[in-house]
Amino acid sequence: MRLGILKEIFQMAFDSLKTHKLRSFLTLLGIMIGVATVIGMISIIQGLNRSFLAQLESIGSDLIIVQKYEQGSEFRILTEEERQRKDLTFEDALAIEKECSLVKALAISLVADFLDDITIKYQNIKGKGAFILGMNDKFPQVLSVYLPQEGRFISESDIIHRTKVCVLGSELAETLFSNINPLRKEIRIGPEKFTVVGVLQKRGSQFGQSQDNFVGIPITALMKYFPYDLKYLQIIAIPKKHCYIQETIEQIINVLRKRRKVGFSKPHDFVIYTQETFLELYNQLTGAVYLVMIVISSISLLVGGIGVMNIMLVSVKERTREIGIRKAIGARSGDILKQFLIEAIFLTCVGGTSGIIIGFSIAFLVKAATPLPASVTLWSVLLGFFVSVSVGLFFGIFPAQKAAKLDPIVALRHE
């Protein structure tokens, strides 16, 4: 019996929706926008999270990164202490490698200053947007993503003798040598000629930025032939064992403070990161995006909820006589309350389901049209549905209570 009544209530809710199509659509628009925003943003952020974590895992888990400034310092005004810091040097890196007994291997990188007149080309074919990266011979040992796919990597001899050899990222190799074997070919980097000795494995893109459009040359050759700024010098070390990370960091700190003559009571004039630091920074950024998403969707859901409450109040007024008849033939106040609550929840669930579909559609369109990834998760669908039910329940209570409290005699007299 109860199942039959429930079925009847759902049928009445559906009929109400069908009878007032435009009114129902406008009522549910806020719910649809709010849920679509939540689902779309969660799908994109989840995709970004998976991509970022995959990138971290692919390069290893024990990296210790040493830089002059903190990440993101280029987007803010430096403090007086930061402006007075000395640059990290190639010799600092060599000292760490020599004096830190817990360091297994150490990679050193330095990007050449970007100048419009420095072009990378083979014959008449130019590499667009490619950059020049000075590297030492330990890069593949520290960062396995820099393993060569063809040929070899830069050697220790190349570093010592400043040899004019290079390795190409897979994208740049494809641009310059689409149907030719690039090994042992000469390319021009600005006015200088370099011989290609290797092509690196494809890494793909991250946040829409290609990681394969570059040429790697011995860092000593970069410092000899091209302009550079040592503030961009980066040192990446790995410990002999994972359990030695903190001890290795302490050794690096001691070596650098001693070399750079940092006073006992003064703070470091350099920064040291681990991958956990990057993960925390990334989580802070995505946390801010989540907050914005919650604010936007909350406003939409509030507007949608008020619309639902308004339409239900109108429905109570339009169906006052019907409520009186139902009470006169034995319907209890609780039955009327359930009827209108279920109708409100049904309305918001229709809007929520539409919002879920729209949100996923937006996420997949973004994934197809841009480099941003998207990832559909079951919990985001359940969240969207739960939010829809909650809005219907919350904003449907007042109209449902108003309907349930109607005096049947007064309701029967209503015209």
Query: Are 205 and 99 found together in one domain?
Result: yes
| 259-303 pLDDT tens trace | 988 888 888 888 888 877 777 777 777 777 777 777 777 777 787
CA distance 37 to 362: 9
Q: What is the mean pLDDT of the segment spanning 179-193? A: 92
Q: Tell whether 94 and 235 lie within a shared domain.
A: yes
Q: Is residue 136 part of a domain?
A: yes
Instruction: Kindly state whether residues 310 and 356 are assigned to the same domain.
Output: yes
Asked whether residue 43 falls in the same domain as residue 172, the answer is no
Q: For the chain, what is the domain count?
A: 2
- The kind and range of the H/E element at 218 are strand 214-218
**Joined tokens for residue 46:** 């989840």
Helix residue spans in 60-118 (DSSP H): 80-83, 90-99
60: phi then psi, degrees, rounded to nearest 5: 110, 170
Q: Which amino acid is at 190?
A: G
Q: Could you give the 3-state DSSP secondary structure of residue 208? A: coil
**Is residue 2 predicted with pLDDT exceeding 60?**
no
Mean per-residue pLDDT, 340-354:
81
Q: 161-170, 264-273, 400-409: which has the minimum mean pLDDT?
A: 400-409
CB 107 within 8 A of CB 142: yes
Predicted confidence at residue 31, as pLDDT, reads 80
Instruction: Compute the Cα dihedral for 27, 30, 34, 39 and give only its sign.
Output: positive
**Which range marks the domain in which residue 49 is found?**
2-55+281-413
72-81, 179-188, 301-310, range with greatest mean pLDDT: 179-188
Determine which of 57-66, 119-128, 141-150 has the lowest per-residue pLDDT on average.
Answer: 57-66
pLDDT of 238 over the 70 cut: yes
47 with 141, same domain?
Answer: no
Query: Tell me, what's the pLDDT at 73?
Result: 66
Q: For 81-114, how does the pLDDT look when each residue is reduced to its tens digit (9 = 90+)?
A: 888 888 999 999 999 999 999 999 999 999 998 6
**Residue 1: band (very low, low, confident or very high) from pLDDT cuts 50, 70, 90:** very low
pLDDT of residue 110: 94
Residue finishing a domain among 224, 241, 269: 269
Residue 174 inside a domain? The answer is yes
Q: What is the mean pLDDT of residues 134-138?
A: 94
Percent of the chain at pLDDT exceeding 70: 87
As a whole number of angstroms, the distance between CA 302 and CA 228 comes to: 54
Tell me if 63 is assigned to some domain.
no
- Over range 163-171, report the average pLDDT: 95
Q: Which of 233, 231, 228 is nearest to 114 (CA)?
A: 228
Residue 173 CA to residue 199 CA, distance in Å, equals 7
